[in-house]
Structure 1
Amino acid sequence: MALRLAAGVPKSLTVPTSARIALFNGTGPFWVQYGANAALPNADVLTGAAPELAPAARNVQGIGSLGLIAPADCTVSIGFYG
């Protein structure tokens, strides 16, 4: 699947129940929050709750949704595999 992200506008999507792994690629930098909506970090986040910057791959088993956000317009491709 491909998601078009507008600068600073969060999007969320449901992880397929059969998915174990997600592979990501983007035309620009993007952030992913697992199980919640994403927000662009604008200060230090030292609690472990920050979104992850442009992961290449991630185990998504048991995660219900992904929140994505980007600082500039970009397209993110996500492949789910079981």
Structure 2
Amino acid sequence: MSSWRTINISPRERAARVAVGALGIIGGIVLLTGAGSVLAVALEVLLVLAGADLLITGALGHCPLYARLGHVPATLKGRSS
């Protein structure tokens, strides 16, 4: 199985990533509605994008950075997914 399909995020971290990512997306969108400057808009768009990254990696269970670094959580060692 190719490395992009392997689950390399523990179940607890996955849940946390999904929750924090959803909050980031919602918070960024709420803040965007009242943005007053170009800098504020840029920062809020970055917040939404960071939230989307966390939400997607949490939902899929795969972090490309973890894969490149060879990181495997202790709870997943010895498991083939």
* TM-score tier after normalising by the smaller chain length: under 0.3
- More helix as a share of residues: 2
Structure with bigger gyration radius: 2
Instruction: Tell me the TM-score normalized by structure 1.
Output: 0.26
Higher strand share: 1
